[in-house]
Amino acid sequence: ADELKSWRPVGIYYGQILIGFAMYGYFQEPSANSQVWLDRLLIDKTYQGNGYGKTAVIALIERLSKEYNCHRIYLSVYDNNQAAIRLYKQIGFYFNGEYDINGENVMVYDLTE
């Protein structure tokens, strides 16, 4: 976020307690395929397993939808991060068969469905 102004970092709070971090951004491509990415989501291990991650993702989807008036939200995840994959699938993300520049599987949330 310090190097690219397209990234927007945000804190994730439980009341007044900072429990996590997220980062998202809008990337306008030369083609018509501009994309909104939820690039980072971290919940402190002390607070994991309490539903805060799911709540945060749902809130971020709503925020990104309003902020960018987008139809899809993208994220990427490593194969071995099964907890994150389960969470994202439960919310409605699906794999689109693509990989990002780091070799992570790309998932998409379609706001039109």
Q: Which residue out of 88, 94, 99, 109 is catalytically annotated?
A: 88
d(Cα 39, Cα 74) in Å, to the nearest integer? 8
d(Cα 42, Cα 63) in Å, to the nearest integer? 17
Active-site residue flag, 88: yes
Residue with tokens 């990002």: 100
Q: Which residues are catalytic?
A: 88
